[in-house]
């Protein structure tokens, strides 16, 4: 791929109790996260299948804002800092995620309620699909 630069994705992993949380960010912001109880020895290997044409680099500093947000979510605390995002999602998926972000901390809503809040009262299944594709599940629960 002469003349083509690869997208740089910065990866990091933290352990919270028995759970490993894998984080990926770009220069624009948080990109994706994953979780598991088994540790992948190389954090970059965790994201290799998702981003085969990217340059995967281990970098804690690039993931520090995402790590703070993940830790706050894990320990059931509110975050004060706004998290920059670099997510690839449809307009509806983004609408569903923004709507979920407006739910007061510690409260829950059904997919039907989220759909109604987003202005599409018949869109419960679409909200469920958007949440199934959610790249940052601890940030947008």
**Which pLDDT band holds residue 1 (cuts at 50, 70, 90)?**
very low
**Which pLDDT band holds residue 40 (cuts at 50, 70, 90)?**
low
Strands in 7-16's sheet, in edge-to-edge order, are 30-36, 19-25, 7-16, 54-58
8: helix, strand or coil: strand
Q: What's the CATH number for 7-74?
A: 3.30.160
Between 82 and 24, the higher pLDDT residue: 24
The predicted model scores a pTM of: 0.83
What is the percentage of the chain residues whose pLDDT exceeds 70?
A: 95
76: helix, strand or coil: coil
User: Is the distance from CB of 112 to CB of 124 less than 8 angstroms?
Assistant: yes
């Amino acid at each position: 791929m002469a003349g083509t630069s690869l997208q740089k994705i910065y990866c990091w992993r933290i352990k919270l109790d028995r759970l490993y949380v894998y984080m990926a960010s770009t220069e624009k912001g948080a990109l994706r996260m994953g979780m598991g109880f088994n540790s992948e020895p190389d954090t970059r290997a965790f994201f290799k299948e998702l981003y085969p044409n990217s340059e995967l680099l281990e970098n804690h500093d690039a993931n520090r804002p995402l790590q703070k947000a993940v830790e706050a979510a894990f320990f059931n605390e509110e975050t004060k800092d706004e998290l920059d995002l670099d997510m690839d999602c449809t307009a509806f998926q983004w609408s569903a995620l923004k709507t979920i972000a407006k739910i007061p901390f510690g409260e829950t809503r059904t997919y039907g309620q989220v759909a109604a809040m987003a202005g599409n009262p018949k869109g419960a299944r679409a909200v469920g699909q958007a949440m199934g594709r959610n790249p940052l599940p601890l940030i947008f629960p």
